Amino acid sequence: MRIGELAQRSGASPRALRYYEQHGLIRARRSTNGYREYDEADVRLVAEIRSLIAVGFTLEDARPFVECLRSGHESGGSCPESVVVYRRKLADIDAEIRSLLARRSEVAAQLAQACPGCLFTRGEP
């Protein structure tokens, strides 16, 4: 299939697919007229990438997953390198949540100090 069909079936835009290729995440054969040609396995690869992106992974994070799939594994996450990324990501998310909670309480404290009562009363200070 060509890039348009892969785009439709994977949920990525053609632009995104070319971007993934540019960064070495997917590869395409070329037909005689220079058009990129893809197969079913690529649909799977791109779907994996999209699903990782959707939960906050970067393209670099997705790389081991793609290579895991390419090397024949059924799941992109079943290789040691992918698991490393999974765990690092969980740690990152946890750190970010802690940071947000800290910021939240700082903001709430500032609000409480600047305008006592404003935290619970909706309306004018």
Q: Which stretch binds DNA (CB under 7 A): 4-12, 67-75, 86-94, 104-112?
A: 4-12
Which residues in the 3-62 window bind a second copy by CB under 8 A? Answer: 51, 55-56
* Distance of alpha carbon 39 from alpha carbon 84, whole angstroms: 29
Which residue from 6, 86, 8 is spatially nearest to 52, judged by alpha carbons? Answer: 86
Q: Mask 34-53, x = binds DNA (CB under 7 A)?
A: xxx----------------x
Cβ neighbours for 115, distance < 8 A, ≥ 6 positions apart: 125
Q: Per rule CB under 8 A, is residue 113 in the interface with a second copy?
A: yes
Residue 121 touches which of a second copy, DNA, none (CB < 5 to 8 A by kind)? Answer: none
23 vs 103 by CB, closer to a second copy: 103
* Distance of alpha carbon 9 from alpha carbon 7, whole angstroms: 6
Q: For residue 46, how many other CB atoms are within 10 A of its CB?
A: 23
Q: Which residues bind DNA (CB under 7 A)?
A: 2-5, 7, 12-16, 18-19, 28, 32-36, 53, 57-60
